[in-house]
Structure 1
Amino acid sequence: MCAFLCADQHGTELHIYELAVRLDRQRLGLGRNLVAVTIRAAQRRRVDSITLTTFSGVAWNAPFYEHLGFRRLHARNMGARLRAILRGEVQAGLPAGVDVRCA
């Protein structure tokens, strides 16, 4: 396996939990294609929104998703589900703080 995307539907929202591409296969469009396929599948399922969380300060994470059409949410614009996901990530050992993780 060289790449995968893990997502789950929550009502009319789809959340991408993880996208990974093997290091020697990066920059070939695999991640971009996985996200595009996921977006098309979500549209067929009449999903209202697609969310994800990622590292804010890693040069390729947030800008990659923004280039694909995602936009960064301010904490006041996050619903309870996204706030709970971010809290769960901290409980699982990821660093805390809005300057570290974003949705």
Structure 2
Amino acid sequence: MQREPAVTFRFATPHDADAIRAIEFEAGLRFIAVGMTGIADAPPMALDTVNRKIAAREIIVAIDARAICVGFVMFEPQPARIYVQELDVLTSHAGRRIGAALIEQVAQIARERQLTQLVLSTYRDVPWNAPYYRRLGFRDIETADLDAALIARRDAHIARGLDESRRVFMQRDLG
């Protein structure tokens, strides 16, 4: 049995911006299967947003043996934690634990910065959202336990038209 070539990880460069946007768009198409066509119809992030995050070193990409970008994680450092903004892997590379490895890359950055947790917001019942993150060690944050920053993020989601009743904030403590 031939072993799958290794995937490597690095901070994104400006050369990766179009691939990141294409991966995000393809990942959004998966939501058609769960009746969430509004996500599937959404355009990818604006190029200037991606370039700003790349310049800030807040996107890590997964690169396959053919030097193709196959996934990314975008994050935002906050006091005492890192907020995971987005995690996407090409469907063709699903099931290879690339997403889990990308989360570990962010966890390592958090540890190096002596930050104590990762936090994110995701869809509660979409199989590759909250159930997936629970398998990676995240736990739900009860609405009553949201801090001011997470409440502000929830309000921003609502302003963008996201149905927060279907979403959950989650955290993973870093040991």
* TM-score, normalised by the number of residues in structure 2: 0.55
Greater length-normalized contact order (CA 8 Å, ≥ 6 residues apart)? 1
Computed over aligned residues only, the root mean square deviation of the Cα atoms, in angstroms, reads: 1.1
Partner of 1:18: 86
1:8 aligns with 76
5+ residue gaps, structure 2: 1-68, 170-175
- 2:168 aligned with 1:102, yes or no? yes
Alpha-carbon distance, 1:60 to partner: 2.3
Percentage of pairs with the same residue: 26
| Deviation of the 1:10 alpha carbon | 1.2
- Which of structures 1 and 2 has the bigger CA Rg? 2
Matched, 1:35 2:103: yes
Distance 1:3 1:89 in 2: 23
SS of the residue corresponding to residue 94 of structure 1 reads coil
Name the structure with the higher helix share. 2
Q: Which contiguous aligned blocks of 4+ residues in structure 1 show a shift greater than 4 angstroms?
A: none
Tell me the matched-pair count: 101
Deviations 1:32-90 (CA, angstroms, capped at 9, x unpaired) = 10001111111111002210000001122111111111100110111111111122122
Structure 1 residues without counterparts, runs of 5 or longer? none
Aligned partner of 2:143 in structure 1 is: 75
**Could you tell me how far apart the structure 2 residues matched to 1:45 and 1:67 are?**
24
TM-score scaled by length of structure 1: 0.91
3-state SS in 2 of match to 1:59: coil
